[in-house]
Amino acid sequence: MTQVQSAYQEEQERLARSMDDIKSQLAGIGPRYTGDDFTEQMLDLQREERKRRLEVAFREPYFGRIDFEELPNGENKPLYIGKAGVAKQGSNELLVVDWRAPVASLFYSFTGGEDAAAYVAPEGEIEGFVHLKRNFMVRQGELVRMVDSYVRGKDEESVTDEFLLYRLGENKDNKLRDIVSTIQHEQDRIIRSERNKALFIQGVAGSGKTTVALHRLAFLLYQYADRVKAERMIIFAPNRMFLDYISGVLPELGVGDILQTTFVDWSLELLGHEVKLRSASDALSYWFEEHRSAEEMANAPGRIKGSLTFKEAIDTRIEELEQRLVPVIPFEPLPGLILKPELMKEWFETDYGDETLMKKRDRLVNRIRRWFESELKLRKVVDKKLRAKAQTKLNAFSKKIPSFTAPQLYASLFGGKQAVTVIPKAIASATAASLKNGQVEAEDLAPLVYIHLRLYGLQISSYDHIVIDEAQDYSPFQLEALRLCQKSPSMTVLGDLQQGIHAYAGIQSWTELIDLFTEEQTGFFELNRSYRSTMEIIEFANRILGAMGGGVKPAVPVFRSGDPVEVEQVTDKEWLSRIVSSVQEWQATGQFQTISVIGRTAEQCSELHEFLLSKGLDASLVQSKQPEYGGGLSVVPVYLSKGLEFDAVLIADAGADKYSENDAKLLYVGCTRALHKLKLLHRDSLTSLISKE
Ligand SMILES: Nc1ncnc2c1ncn2[C@@H]1O[C@H](COP(=O)(O)OP(=O)(O)OP(=O)(O)O)[C@@H](O)[C@H]1O
């Protein structure tokens, strides 16, 4: 038997022993407790959590092994790394080390070499020698593959990460998946970054940003179990369909209860649904159904209302209100009984200094009422008429201390003498008119939320961690509003400026967001390797990136080769039937689980969808309000395809009339959705974004 064969056999035996151990632990967990005893209920929850971990481990106990000899005088110990940590039955010895444990970081960070390696443990840096790094693939309890990517003392051949390539070559269904077994070093650094920072991640399309952010949440919950709670974490994603698409990752990582929402839904809820959003799809069709110039996008209402200049105008308004809130006249409920304005001012400023404005206001009103009641008692005022008169005066005086809702204050910024000057007149009057009907645009939500938080506070516990996906579409004002929901910044903010297709609302440079924090509060990472697509697709998409100019960094592919990208000119007459035949050819290969026909506009997609259906193809149409993404064959407007991925992508029409010089980001988004296969049809001459070499 060769050395490799015997190692394989040993691992097979160890796997069988581990599975037996896990099985027997599972069998030992009794039925659920259903009684009323609190301690028993708590113990039951712990047992359930243990059972969940054991079940995860039973499906695939581990995917990696690292043999580590701790310096100065530890022994060389094999550590098996898996999705869930498990101790041997009846002992503290670890059968499987949780991938999030400090020592497991070696598995991701170690890239070879004889020098000592190190990892950071709570007690400090631990140094040692790595003797072996081994990857496993376990399916249905069987060891199906084993590869050593490092053996100490052996000549190092450069083993490309076979496991990574295998994973990337797989087809995708309708859900994003976890990557614990193949996390790359540059991703691991982000996942394990310390908690108290606003981390900004600029990553090319397919570099794993969304995936990394979700793994980071799982890491934070493990590492800071005493300080970070799932129910106080929140993920902001661009739309509900995207939330559905990512919904499988966290449960697979054993993480539940995290609020996953869109900024719009969250804001409307926070505002108690006092305002309604004008149809979001109207805004999308305005910006995407027709060509819009870069200038129009840069000066759009969203850019102005999302700016810090607007925020400053609002801050000034709130400060002015605060200054004017306490009446400057005395309160005299009965002749000679006087409460001086100076005293009220003192109560307001010193006693409730840290409170939000409306809480301070309510406390002041209550305090005046208490003063009033105790003074009446002290003066033994029993005459009913006199008391009633005094009470009327109190009510009238309380009304002089104004209270407002966020929409009321917001509306005052756009009309009358108090209108702010930072908002151009036309935008201000349109906003004022909308607000009269209780309606707002998406860009009004950040200022409204900000005002609400300044007036009333969050009213729930502050968030331990906030994730913002597709953050290039956020305005500085949105981030300022979210900052008010935390005691100190702990955020993962990720995006790709090259995919910033919502330029009418988002940022043009990361500094617009990063500068909101101090240097110590922030971290910035770049991810340039793209894992989603084949080399051919990435190189093709890089040509579009090149067309954007401005020294944009190209995406670096992982060495995974596939079919060449096809670009095919068709006549008007052939066009629809060529779309159908391309899809049918792909379906016939049986190689692709998810296929997408990507169109330029919602209108075009709906026509294409009708046509595919009429030809007997089972296609679904993706629309802006859709709550779910179903996989299979779909027709998607390019601007809604962001964040998603498909085994094969057909860009329905890449003609110059569909993608002008200004649409590079849109086309880049469309092309980078493809994992294995990409084809572009065009009727008109090909868009110059591609034809230029
Ligand atoms: N280390 C990895 N191992 C295996 N697969 C990976 C790894 N990193 C990323 N991927 C895969 O690459 C694809 C892209 O990941 P993800 O959607 O998180 O990237 P993204 O940067 O958010 O993309 P985009 O900005 O284009 O939406 C996913 O299929 C993901 O599973």
pLDDT tens digits, 532-567: 999 999 999 998 888 776 667 888 888 789 999 999
Using most ligand atoms within 8 A of CB, pick from 173, 247, 532, 641 the residue to mutate for ligand 1: 532
Whether residue 205 has its Cβ less than 6 Å from ligand 1 = yes
Whether residue 168 has its Cβ less than 6 Å from ligand 1 = yes
Ligand 1 atom with minimal separation from the 183 CA: 1
Ligand 1 atom with minimal separation from the 213 CA: 18
- Residue 298 CA to residue 304 CA, distance in Å, equals 9
Ligand 1 atom with minimal separation from the 184 CA: 1
Residue pair 542/554 in contact (Cβ under 8 Å)? The answer is: yes
Q: Closest Cα to atom 19, ligand 1: which residue?
A: 208
- pTM, entire model: 0.89
ipTM for the whole complex: 0.99
Whether residue 167 has its Cβ less than 6 Å from ligand 1 = yes
CB-count burial class (<10 Å; 0-12, 13-18, 19+) for 158: exposed
Whether residue 497 has its Cβ less than 6 Å from ligand 1 = no
Q: Which two tokens stand for residue 388?
A: 């009633």
Report CA(676)–ligand 1 centroid distance (Å): 14
- Pairing assessment for the beta strands 331-334 and 276-277 based on DSSP bridges: unpaired
Residue pair 104/128 in contact (Cβ under 8 Å)? The answer is: no
Q: Give, for 531, the enclosing helix (H) or strand (E).
A: none
Whether residue 670 has its Cβ less than 6 Å from ligand 1 = no
- pLDDT computed for residue 163 by the predictor: 80
The shares of helix, strand and coil residues in the chain, as percent rounded to the nearest 5, are: 45, 20, 35
Using most ligand atoms within 8 A of CB, pick from 107, 173, 531 the residue to mutate for ligand 1: 531
Which stretches in the chain have pLDDT values below 70?
A: 1, 155-160, 171-173, 279-299, 353, 503-505, 549-551, 691-693
Using most ligand atoms within 8 A of CB, pick from 99, 175, 211 the residue to mutate for ligand 1: 211
- pLDDT computed for residue 118 by the predictor: 92
- Pairing assessment for the beta strands 124-139 and 117-121 based on DSSP bridges: antiparallel
Q: What three-state secondary structure class fits 492?
A: strand
Q: Closest Cα to atom 24, ligand 1: which residue?
A: 205
Ligand 1 atom with minimal separation from the 205 CA: 26
Residue pair 236/266 in contact (Cβ under 8 Å)? The answer is: yes
**Integer Rg of the chain from CA:** 30
**CA count, 13 A, side-chain hemisphere, 156:** 12
Whether residue 197 has its Cβ less than 6 Å from ligand 1 = no
- Pairing assessment for the beta strands 76-82 and 64-70 based on DSSP bridges: antiparallel
Report CA(527)–ligand 1 centroid distance (Å): 11
Count CB atoms within 10 A of the CB of residue 472: 25
Which residues are registered as beta bridge partners of 68?
77, 130
Residue pair 437/444 in contact (Cβ under 8 Å)? The answer is: no
Report CA(353)–ligand 1 centroid distance (Å): 47
Q: Closest Cα to atom 16, ligand 1: which residue?
A: 208
Question: In angstroms, how far is the first alpha carbon of the chain from the final one?
Answer: 55
Report CA(66)–ligand 1 centroid distance (Å): 25
- pLDDT computed for residue 291 by the predictor: 66
Q: What is the 3-state secondary structure (H, E, C) of 7-52?
A: HHHHHHHHHHHHHHHHHHHHHCCCCCCCCCCHHHHHHHHHHHHHHH
Report CA(332)–ligand 1 centroid distance (Å): 68
- Residue 547 CA to residue 571 CA, distance in Å, equals 26
- pLDDT computed for residue 256 by the predictor: 82
